[in-house]
Amino acid sequence: MHSAQRDLFRLPPADSPAAGKTRHLLIGGRLIDYRLRTGARRLSMTIDDRGLRLGAPARLPRAEIEAFVIQHRDWVLKKLDELATRTQPRHLRLADGARLPLLGDEITVRVLPGANRIRWIAQTLVLEARPAADLGLLATRALKHRALEHFGARLAHYSAQLAQPVPPLGLSAARTRWGSCSHASGIRIHWRLIHLPPHIGDYVVAHETAHLIEMNHSPRFWRLVEQLYPDWRNARSQLKACAASLPIL
């Protein structure tokens, strides 16, 4: 089965009937949402802050509509990626005394001479670094380790709620997706979520955990998400707002 992958930078589609029905199409290994509005004079395609939207004549077969999208797949994927990264996260120069966001709080970075080792002392990340060390890489290594611990515990929590075995957990650095799920390889969560408040990461983990049962974005899938994380709409909105402020190390 293909991995279920969803762009989590955008808000979920509006429920307005005029906006059209939400459908899904696999393009280049990515599950892409689109809104289809029938009754248009001709077949058209638009990508804006609301995502991918199609207009089509009422009796045009869905296969023909989706073939049109696939025919323009390179343009579609490029525009969706541009939409997701329109506001780039900020670069942060690491030095002794720098502050980093971590799970809704802040930690202090201490840089000491050493052999490129990492230590945590309460809310302080200690980088024992050689003179020419890449401090960003050292800090990233420490944050990824913390991310695996934290999101692993949250994945076990939500898997238990669905009476599912805990799947393998990996970290990603995808440009346009916060998480993905595959029956073959397990769940992957973007490691940068470790910078955000815990409830936002919880939404992403719950979203991907729901894919263990529903490998789609059907109404039944969203009912599972609602069961696992009732306030998912608010968390998703906050995720979109926070994405532009994540630090780049």
Written as six digits, the tokens of 154 are: 């949250």
What CATH number does residue 147 fall under? Answer: 3.30.2010.10
In this predicted structure, what is the pLDDT of residue 90?
A: 66
Q: Is residue 120 part of a domain?
A: no
Q: What is the pLDDT of residue 49?
A: 63
Instruction: Say whether both 172 and 235 belong to one domain.
Output: yes
Give pLDDT, residue 43: 92
Q: Choose one of 51, 84, 117: the last residue of a domain.
A: 84
Mean pLDDT by 10 residues, the chain (249 residues): 39 40 77 85 83 89 91 89 64 87 92 94 94 92 96 98 96 86 92 94 96 93 96 89 78
Where in the sequence is the domain holding 67, given as residue range(s)?
4-84
Look up tokens 């942060």; give the residue. Answer: 92
The reported pLDDT for the residue numbered 11 is: 32
Which SS3 state, helix, strand or coil, does residue 231 take? coil
Residue 182 inside a domain? The answer is yes
Same domain, 162 and 224: yes
236 shares its domain with 172:
yes
Q: What is the pLDDT of residue 154?
A: 98
Write down which residue in 57, 84, 111 finishes a domain.
84
pLDDT given at position 238: 87
**pTM value > 0.85:** no
Distance in angstroms (rounded) separating the CA atoms of residues 143 and 173: 13
User: What per-residue confidence (pLDDT) applies to 85?
Assistant: 64
Q: Say how many domains are in the chain.
A: 2
Residue 116 lies in a domain: no
- Which residues face 90 on adjacent strands? 247
The C-alpha atoms of residue 163 and residue 166 are separated, in whole angstroms, by 9
With respect to residue 147, please indicate whether it lies within any of the assigned structural domains. Answer: yes
Residue 188 lies in a domain: yes
pLDDT tens for 114-137 read 999 999 998 999 999 999 899 999
The answer as to whether 194 is a domain residue is: yes
Residues 62 and 144 in one domain: no
pLDDT at 199: 94
